[in-house]
Structure 1
Amino acid sequence: MFTQCLIVVVVILLVLVRWKPNKFVKLHEKLGNDFMYFPIIGNAFSFAGNNEDRMTTLIKATLQCYKREHNAISLWLGPMFIVILSSTDLAYVVLKSALNKNFIHKFAKDLTGNGTVFASAHIWHRRRKILVPSFAPRYVKQFIAVFEAQNKTLVENFKSHVGKGNFACWDAVYSYALDSVCETMFGMNVDLQRQPDHPFFKAFDEFVRNGVSRIFQPWYYSDSFYKLMPVFRRQEQMKKIIHAFLDDIICTKKKQIEEKGGNESETKNPRNTKLNFKTFLELMIENSKDDAYTLEELREETIVQLVAASDTTAAWICTTLLLFCKHTDVQERVYREIIDVIGDSNNPLTSKDLLKLKYTRAVINESLRLYPPVPFINRYCTEDLELPSGITLPKGTNAVINIWGIQHNPLYWGEDANVFNPDRFMSKQIPKAFIPFSYGIRNCIGRQYGMLSLTTVLVSLLRQYRFTPATGFTFDENNPLRLSFDLISKHIDRYPIQIEYRKLRDINEVAK
């Protein structure tokens, strides 16, 4: 049976490769790439290996883009024609005009279904209208209290690593991000920070990693063939754990809302305190009342928010901590700003306080520029799309917007583009080539949420700790971080740092 399926897949690929549309062939002759090409699989061999190898290859693709006239290259993954764009002008046109995410949606759908981030355009339109009001500033800023409460657990978890040498901080920060998302989503503290071996935590992480690997392996593009593989059975096991965990929470929360007549402020969370904000789940239910979400749709949107908010926020926080270790002068300047603007009191943080931290925000932006958590995004052209450089992307093209390449491109950032320099963002105007949250009407709606989460974390951690480089671990512009492409970019060694306590005399010196 397996042999027969393999033969069928090979035959299909041979037919598709043999009959490549001439419009793709012509554009490929104009753009091309420097990777090895093989019959049937195209350039896929260059993306073989683990997820770190794939990230390395994608960065090599970026360097190839810089050398070409259009700041773009084209390649074949089996029968799939892909154009990688590393120019701001080209990216803006594609992001404004092409709203579908074809092949990424195919593989993401295994977990997220028709969740907003990866959904086809016609589904995305309806759900985006429901989600946008949920991310209004008046709601998001109320989550600062949740972030602060979860920060206390994170600060406590870091305490056991003070003065103990190298500490890989990814798991601690990732569980913080998941806890924060779950509480803002459901109003329930699932307390993953105190349960590092929670089945959901492990299943979620593994499912995402395995899902990304499929993107670069054309022999897994056929669902019939993929379902015969052990990895598919493993993915199904992980999906059952994820769905069971979320369905239980969603049903429990819906029941609470119904029992309280929709008055969320009367519901208590596990800390035995009344919630003074509307959760994302409640807002989704409320905003979809004219076209009510089903349980499946609520689960899909919940999973998307977990993927979009937890992984990206955690990578963002961890990367910034690593940069603090490398650039201790920047770390101390941020700390001084926090003390100067907010002080060292235990008074609750406010959005007004956080907005005053201008240099801290510049540091966060520069961290995002150098190491964007989502370095590449995909768009599918449903019609011919003419670009400013003079090339036309034919209908059926998979365009990859190279956020990594645009944000490292010397054309926009100068010859020191690979250097960490937060002062780039001290002016009021954000550079056009800064697009970590994408661009256009299908951009990321969680920007403010992520900024508030990260800023409150930095305030809480820097008030208590100083971060120093891990022993034996160095990186700079000529020796960048080793990253793995797991849907988002993550450090291969899970972000090693060392932690010290801040002394009272530090605060007194700043006060002088």
Structure 2
Amino acid sequence: MDRWKPNKFVKLHQQLGNDWKYFPIIGNAISFLGNNEDLMKVFMNLSVQGFKRTHNAISFWLGNIFFVGIMDADQAIVVLRSTLNKNFMHRFSKYLIGNGLVFAPVDIWHRRRKILAPSFAPRYVSKYVTVFETHAKIVVKQLESKRQPDHPFFNAFVENLKNVAARLCQPWLHVDVLYQLLPVYIRQEHTKKIIHDFVNDLICKTKALIEERDGIEAEVYNPTNKIKVDVKSFLELMIESSKNTDKAYTLEELREETLVLALAGTDTSTVGICFTILLLSQYSDVQERVYKEIQEALSDSEKPLQMEDLFKLKYMKAVINETLRLYPPIPLITRYCKQDLKLPTGIILPEGSNVAISIWGIHHNPQHWGEDVNDFNPDRFMSGQIPNAFMPFSHGPRNCVGYQYAMLSITTTLVTLLRQYRFTPATNFTYDKNNPLRLSFDVMMKHVDGFTVQVESRG
């Protein structure tokens, strides 16, 4: 161990440790080399190591930066409730998104959460059933014509985040001066401009729409896709909610929160939908049970969805929860300890510790879920009791403010698709314990093979 490392971290590392090779100066960073798929394998290996240790935790070094990896729910809850500070690694995401709610320092987060919270109140979120169904029907039409959406904003967003994820665990790329000499930085600047220009234009159009409406409740025009709906967009709600505060959102702040919504709201929902469809394609009995429940709850296939309809879909919710357990869109979150913190197992995280909380690990910990932890079994959620070890939307004060929005989006989209289509496995692909899904870490957890399934019309 390098002599210049702080003694308080060295002592804890001797107590926890890991199974990876250690090298002077770079620590365990060599174990994090590889592509985005390799990086996800490292996070999974980190969790498996923790399962076997007394404290359900390991420690590791990225250069001179000390981390404690936690994959136990009770310990994670203590950290997430008492430690609100995000660690240094979030600055790489801030390059694109800035001080959006997910990445903001605590003082900025407090102000923005207070402004944003009313926009996610049930009275607003429930109105989005119609919006989600409208867009899901567009997806249905696209599947009929086998068209694939291809938008510069979407492509730039995916590429930028993939490069951010690759940079996170390589300490030699943390130095901005060095990173800016690499070709990937030029690509990051290019994709960042595409993303910011698109969102800035959207904000300007939305502000013009609000001014034109002049406070009169009317049919809302969405400038991005030319679909008319009778509910305000979240961007409109953010603009209007901040008007009555001490300081209205600036263009930069609106862009940051819009990008957070795209990342933490839309992208997580999309990943959740895709993993659910992929699993349903492999488990035909589960898919047919979901479809039967939908038919019993809605009967008429042309009947528009209502909020009360979704409450009836208990098995559908269990399927979604089990999917989010096995494949949480955000597999890892981090925190920074500004003071010593004692965990339930007795270990003390010293001031200055970085904590990596493995949501994937907590969701795959056999101590929480039993020996069938790796099985896809939606019935484990049918009791109505949600275990503390289920935290796909994080936990504590800085949990996902839009988790209800995400669940509503996932449920509505799946109902709309399953009413029209049956999903079956892609040719020559069968998912089981001996042939697990290939996963990659692109900030979100993604399927390497692109969520490929076959689609059959139920008609």
TM range (shorter): over 0.9
Partner of 2:411: 455
Q: Which has the higher helix share?
A: 1
Is the 1:77–1:218 contact (alpha carbons within 8 Å) kept by the matching residues of 2? yes
Partner of 1:308: 264
Where does 1:76-475 land on structure 2 (aligned, <5 Å)?
76-161=61-146, 193=149, 196=150, 198-263=151-216, 265-269=218-222, 275-289=229-243, 290=245, 291-475=247-431
Of 51, 67, 91, 2:36 maps to: 51
Indicate the SS of the match to 2:445. Answer: strand
CA distance in 2, matches of 1:231, 1:344: 52
Partner AA of 1:92 in structure 2: I
CA drift of 1:262 comes to 2.9
Consecutive unaligned residues in structure 2, runs of 5 or more:
none
CA distance in 1, matches of 2:300, 2:283: 23
CA distance in 2, matches of 1:349, 1:230: 48
CA drift of 1:141 comes to 1.1
Indicate the SS of the match to 2:221. Answer: coil
Partner of 2:443: 487
Indicate the SS of the match to 2:5. Answer: coil
CA distance in 2, matches of 1:281, 1:87: 37
Is the 2:220–2:230 contact (alpha carbons within 8 Å) kept by the matching residues of 1? no
CA drift of 1:273 comes to 6.7
Is the 1:34–1:64 contact (alpha carbons within 8 Å) kept by the matching residues of 2? yes
Indicate the SS of the match to 1:431. Answer: coil
Is the 2:301–2:419 contact (alpha carbons within 8 Å) kept by the matching residues of 1? no
User: Which digits, 9 at most, give the CA deviation of each residue in 1:283-309, with x for residues without a partner?
Assistant: 212222222110000000001110112
CA drift of 1:272 comes to 6.8
Partner of 1:37: 22
User: Which digits, 9 at most, give the CA deviation of each residue in 1:61-82, with x for residues without a partner?
Assistant: 1110011000000000111111
Structure-2 change in CA distance of 1:254 and 1:396 (3 Å): same
CA distance in 2, matches of 1:250, 1:99: 30
Is the 2:220–2:231 contact (alpha carbons within 8 Å) kept by the matching residues of 1? no
Percent identity over the alignment is 60
Aligned length: 456
Partner AA of 1:155 in structure 2: V
CA drift of 1:50 comes to 0.1
Partner AA of 1:234 in structure 2: R
CA drift of 1:152 comes to 1.4
CA distance in 1, matches of 2:252, 2:456: 46
User: Which digits, 9 at most, give the CA deviation of each residue in 1:357-396, with x for residues without a partner?
Assistant: 0001000000011111111111111111111111011111
Partner AA of 1:482 in structure 2: R
Partner of 2:5: 20
User: Which digits, 9 at most, give the CA deviation of each residue in 1:121-163, with x for residues without a partner?
Assistant: 11111111111111001101111111111111111122245xx
Partner AA of 1:117 in structure 2: V
Is the 1:265–1:278 contact (alpha carbons within 8 Å) kept by the matching residues of 2? no
Q: Give the TM-score normalised by structure 1.
A: 0.87
CA drift of 1:276 comes to 2.1
CA drift of 1:477 comes to 2.8
CA distance in 2, matches of 1:118, 1:265: 35
Structure-2 change in CA distance of 1:409 and 1:267 (3 Å): closer
CA distance in 1, matches of 2:218, 2:203: 17
Is the 1:369–1:407 contact (alpha carbons within 8 Å) kept by the matching residues of 2? yes
CA distance in 1, matches of 2:78, 2:201: 42
CA distance in 1, matches of 2:212, 2:335: 43
Is the 2:220–2:232 contact (alpha carbons within 8 Å) kept by the matching residues of 1? no
Is the 1:104–1:118 contact (alpha carbons within 8 Å) kept by the matching residues of 2? no
Structure-2 change in CA distance of 1:113 and 1:18 (3 Å): farther
CA drift of 1:480 comes to 1.9
CA drift of 1:327 comes to 0.6
CA distance in 2, matches of 1:153, 1:142: 18
CA RMSD of aligned residues (A): 1.6
Indicate the SS of the match to 1:245. Answer: helix
Does residue 477 (structure 1) correspond to residue 433 (structure 2)? The answer is yes
Is the 2:71–2:359 contact (alpha carbons within 8 Å) kept by the matching residues of 1? yes
